[in-house]
Amino acid sequence: MSSAKLFPFVAIVGQERMKLALVLNIINPTLSGVLIRGEKGTGKSTAVRALAHILPKIEVVDECPFQLPQGDPQGVCPECPRLDCSRRVMAGEPVPTVQREIRVVELPVGATEDRVVGTLDLEQALKKGEKRVEPGLLAAAHRNILYVDEVNLLDDHVVDVLLDSAAMGVNTIEREGVSFSHPAQFTLIGTMNPEEGELRPQLLDRFGLCVHVEGLRDVERRVEIMERRAAFDINPDGFTALWAEASQKLVERIETARTLYPQVTVDRSILFHIASYCLEVGVDGHRADIIMLKAAKTIAAYEGRTSVERQDVDIAAELVLPHRLRRRPFMDIMESSSEVQRGITGPKG
């Protein structure tokens, strides 16, 4: 994808919570993805593609359907449909690799479970007695970004499969009594327009983070959006060059945060603060506590710190809790977000 056709991520006006949620999931894919709710034309898909473009390239085995790096078969190669490559790997021989950009793998609304998960090549099994897999979109998404537009219109079972894989980092294909697993560690990004229907609460809860986006209400900011877009359309290369330094700084900050994250420590008082938060706003279960802890640690790493502070928990609460609150009839996530905001100064435990 050419940089001349991608609006720079750092040049997007406003939508700071959305941009932060995306960056946090890139730093720490175990956050289980982000759901972006809101009206059309607010820069959702632009932000996703632009962020993928500026990220460092990854090494993959040339044409590997599972996006694996050199010397990392993970038990997948014996069943790979690329027989020439799998034989070389199993024999310990080197295979050609390429450096390429992070990809945004898009999942169409009408995708079937077999298209998403993958299936077994039954013809190969019946004729030759060999187990061969036909990888799905989750294989293509490994080490990449899986982008699901209008996720609320997908079949609930397909959404369940996506969220399971996002949480576990593994996809399992089970057909005709045969089971096969492959790595599926990806950044899951779902978008939806609430006017077209909501996700069931059980599925909402499975998304790690959730942000609500809407058009900016400030006249000057809206004018700034028009001016930047007009400048980009006239001279994409020149406009991108103006933001190149800021883009590189963001990439370096993300890479530093990835390295720093395992070193981040959490004082026990912070754990009590998180637990008090979740009890105060009345969320069900314990998933919110765990995701808040991960999010707060990721925020600390992004800020260049090795210890979590209370402000990290406050920011994490705005991303983790609103879509998990027990909502009254006709209460939407925007109102839930307001309740979380009011609770930020509440829990002190």
Q: Which CATH architecture has domain 262-343?
A: Orthogonal Bundle (1.10)
Contact of 298 with 25, CB cutoff 8 Å: no
Segments of the chain assigned E as strands: 34-38, 58-61, 97-100, 104-106, 118-120, 133-135, 145-148, 170-175, 178-183, 187-192, 209-213
Partners of 211 in beta bridges: 36
Mean pLDDT of 235-247: 90
CB within 8 Å of 191: residues ≥ 6 apart: 35, 36, 37, 38, 44, 45, 147, 148, 149, 150, 151
Which residue ranges make up each domain of the chain?
Answer: 3-55+101-213, 262-343
- Do 262-343 and 3-55+101-213 fall under one CATH topology? no
Mean pLDDT of 232-254: 90
Contact of 184 with 139, CB cutoff 8 Å: yes
CA–CA separation, 15 vs 19, rounded Å?
Answer: 6
Per-residue pLDDT tens digits for 287-324:
889 999 999 999 999 999 999 999 999 999 999 988 87
CA–CA separation, 340 vs 342, rounded Å?
Answer: 5
The single residue of 229, 258, 287, 305 carrying the catalytic annotation is: 287
115: amino acid identity, one letter:
R
CA–CA separation, 313 vs 272, rounded Å?
Answer: 11
- pLDDT the model gives residue 301: 94
287 is catalytic: yes
Q: Is the pLDDT of residue 342 over 70?
A: no
- pLDDT the model gives residue 299: 95
Q: Which of 75-79, 166-170, 247-251, 340-344 has the lowest mean pLDDT?
A: 340-344
Q: Is the pLDDT of residue 343 over 60?
A: no
Per-residue pLDDT tens digits for 271-289:
999 998 888 888 878 888 9
Partners of 283 in beta bridges: 325
Q: Which of 197 and 117 is assigned the larger pLDDT?
A: 117
Q: What is the mean pLDDT of the chain?
A: 80
Q: In the CATH scheme, what is the code of domain 3-55+101-213?
A: 3.40.50.300
Is residue 1 very low, low, confident or very high in pLDDT (cuts 50, 70, 90)? very low
Contact of 33 with 190, CB cutoff 8 Å: yes
* Percentage of the chain modeled with pLDDT above 70: 81
Q: Is the pLDDT of residue 219 over 80?
A: yes
